Structure 1
Amino acid sequence: MDEAVFAKGAQDRAPGTRYSPGSLISLLQIDDRAGPIYRQLEQRIVHLIRTEVLEAGSVLPAERQLAEALGVSRTTVQHCYNNLRRSGLLGGKGRSGSSIQPLRLNTGMDRLKGFTEEMRDLGRVPSSEILQCEQVEDRSIASVFGLPSTAPLLKLVRIRRGDSTPMSREVAWYDLSAAPDLPKADLTGSVYDVLKKIGVQLTHCEQSIEAASSSEEESAIFGFQSAQPCLLIKRRSYTSDHRMIEYVEGLFRGDAYVYSLKLHV
């Protein structure tokens, strides 16, 4: 089976698919003259993951099975798999094989930008699924904004995806007294772009990141079998006159995100 045919077939498979050793042989070509075999296997698998021929959540064959299919020692495959685990591309070892982990996204925190812009900067296709979008009154959230308890707020709950992979579950609130037309807009994309179009320009934010575990609902969204470590990002966004417009709590999957900072003396 050639790579193009295999890739097309992979797109039709649901996450969690177990690949047989035979289906990988044509993709894991080995040349005895091209250096250590374990390194060749590692480089080839990394390429297949990065080009999404092998999709996140899929399961590679067990070490012994793949070794027998390729005609190499189990130690060779074990060495390859261990290196992939250390780099975060493979999950834990099980009887049926090892699962492919989502690629970790290294994103900076040098300026205010939303999820849509962040994904585009990283070369990913952003998309959103709206779970809730309604006007609410919430005493505790209103106090975060410094507003009266009966102030109208828009509550927006979305699943944010990059290249169709669920990356976060985001709960956001917006001050409708500052942006009354917001509920009428298409909020499946960038809310920041919508705010700008209706005349509300965000200029700065306060953001914090803390460790958290995924809830049962969030684990189901991310495809986790049980609660996993995640990043809880809280953000308060303001206009130039320091009026708070947005408060967001987004839970991001910890197996896919790395946040980097540039610090100056």
Structure 2
Amino acid sequence: MLTCGTGHNFRVSPAGRETTIWSWIPEKDGENMAGRYDRLIHDSFKPLYFQLKEIFHDKIESEELTEGDMIPSENELQKIYGVSRATVRKAIELLVYDGLMDKKKGKGTFVKRRKIEEQLPLLRSFTEEMAGRDAYKKVISVAYTKAPSGISTRMKLPPAESVLSLKRLMVVGAIPLGLLHSYIPAKFELSLDEDYTKSLYRILEKKGIRLKEAEQTIEVRMSTREEIRLLGLEAPCPILVIRRLAYSVNREAVEYVKGIYRGDRYRYSCKLTRY
């Protein structure tokens, strides 16, 4: 739990979950109670709202503040840091925009769930990425169909060849994280009765189809109405669009997948070298 100045902490339990609330009690002499480690520097080149945003960002990164914790009200933060309400609001707006906090009307501002991170350039399935997490996949649809022309071209398929079209919803901690739409050539003979809530890569490996490498692109756009509905979003938000073409050890195109991930819940990381 957090303590600021001579403030105190207490807990409430909305929806059965224990939540930390960072509270503040003013000094009798009216001294600024930002705390000896969290004071704002008024003559800094950094704007006050940005300094305040960084303070909360650091507390979240260090896990001093964790998912579900409620921060003080705007009025309390004004008193704690000796700044205007406009400064407080701008700092909170930046934290919300960065996906670190969530404002709930009539309740307050809460720390959001940390983003799930996938490291590049590892080729892993969603099941492998989520190992150790409370995660599962829900099959939306599975059927054999004619491949869209663009995908057929990318996979270098004969014009008449059909593909297995597999749509799945990815859920982590009871919250929809993203959507996966996979296309696998019919020649690999995957069954419609297969349990596709399991790892697709494992299913392929059991059939003797081993994946070796993939080409992948990542871009950002706003969510569509259908994606808002399936992901349970309240409004349009930025999403990550991942397109991946995976190849077998024999250099055959095995899977083309389009993944839609919530930008506030997911991020990629990679290691770069200069030479």
Answer yes or no: same fold by TM over 0.5.
yes
Change (3 A) 1:45 1:205: closer
Contact persistence 1:107–1:259 (CA under 8 A) = yes
Residues 1:255 and 2:264 are matched in the alignment? yes
Equivalent position of 1:73 in the other structure: 79
Change (3 A) 1:60 1:30: closer
Equivalent position of 1:28 in the other structure: 22
Shift of 1:255: 1.4
Equivalent position of 2:169 in the other structure: 159
Contact persistence 1:206–1:235 (CA under 8 A) = yes
Change (3 A) 1:156 1:110: same
Which one has the bigger helix percentage?
1
Amino acid of the residue matched to residue 183 of structure 2? W
Shift of 1:166: 1.4
Distance in 2 between residues matched to 1:220 and 1:46, nearest whole Å: 34
Could you tell me which runs of 5 or more consecutive residues in structure 1 were left unpaired when the two chains were aligned.
12-23
Amino acid of the residue matched to residue 110 of structure 1? P
Distance in 1 between residues matched to 2:128 and 2:260, nearest whole Å: 18
Shift of 1:60: 6.9
Change (3 A) 1:217 1:98: farther
* 2:181 maps to which of 171, 190, 209: 171
Shift of 1:103: 1.8
Change (3 A) 1:203 1:223: same
Contact persistence 1:152–1:176 (CA under 8 A) = yes
Distance in 1 between residues matched to 2:235 and 2:21, nearest whole Å: 32
Residues 1:237 and 2:243 are matched in the alignment? no
Equivalent position of 1:185 in the other structure: 194
Residues 1:118 and 2:134 are matched in the alignment? no
* 1:108 maps to which of 119, 124, 127: 119
- Number of aligned residues: 238
Shift of 1:202: 0.7
Distance in 2 between residues matched to 1:92 and 1:205, nearest whole Å: 39
Distance in 2 between residues matched to 1:190 and 1:32, nearest whole Å: 55
Distance in 1 between residues matched to 2:124 and 2:221, nearest whole Å: 22
Greater Rg over alpha carbons, structure: 2
Equivalent position of 1:10 in the other structure: 17
Shift of 1:118: 1.2
Q: For residues 144-186 of structure 1, what are the alpha-carbon distances to aligned partners after superposition, in whole Å with 9 as ceiling and x for unaligned?
A: 32112321311111111222221111111111202x1343321
- The root-mean-square deviation of aligned C-alpha atoms, in Å, is 4.0
